[in-house]
Amino acid sequence: MGLSAQADDTNTASLSARLRARRLRVFPEMVRACHRRQGHCRVIDVGGTFAYWTQVPDAFLAQHACEVTVVNLEDAPLPAARTHLRAQRGDGCALEDADNAFDIAHSNWAIEHVGDAARMRASAD
């Protein structure tokens, strides 16, 4: 499998898709615990994509009253069939949401979402 094929997250056999699936492995139990505690779960995904969330079935999100807000610098079209996902335009380094607006904060790869090298350094400090 070539390099571009390994980075293809639409191919479940690619390295990229396998790494993403592994990082997402603990997510279902976090949602279950949150739902048991309060009857719903609000998730913010900073810098994510809607394609990434295809790994979590809408039925699971519905069963646990879970809403996922995907925040990005650019607007992204929201898949019509995914009723528990919403889009929010914003800067992951300066979110405008109120404190405690979300129960779980998620980012697949945080550092790549903060911008240029100067912002990456500032984020790491």
Q: Which of 14, 18, 15, 32 is nearest to 103 (CA)?
A: 32
What's the structural domain count of the chain?
A: 1
24 or 12, higher pLDDT: 24
| Six-digit token string for 119 | 């912002």
Predicted confidence (pLDDT) per residue in 51-92, tens digit:
888 889 999 999 999 999 999 888 877 777 788 999 999 888
Predicted confidence (pLDDT) per residue in 22-38, tens digit:
778 889 999 999 999 99
Which pLDDT does position 8 carry in this prediction? 63
Q: Are 39 and 65 in contact (CB under 8 A)?
A: yes
Predicted confidence (pLDDT) per residue in 98-119, tens digit:
999 999 999 876 655 566 677 6
Q: Which domain holds residue 46?
A: 3-124
- With residue 2 as reference, give the H or E element that holds it: none
Indicate the pTM of the whole model: 0.76
Other C-beta atoms lying within 10 Å of the C-beta of residue 4 = 8
Percentage with pLDDT > 70 across the chain: 76
Helices (H), 15-79: 15-23, 27-38, 58-63
Place of tokens 């009723």: 83
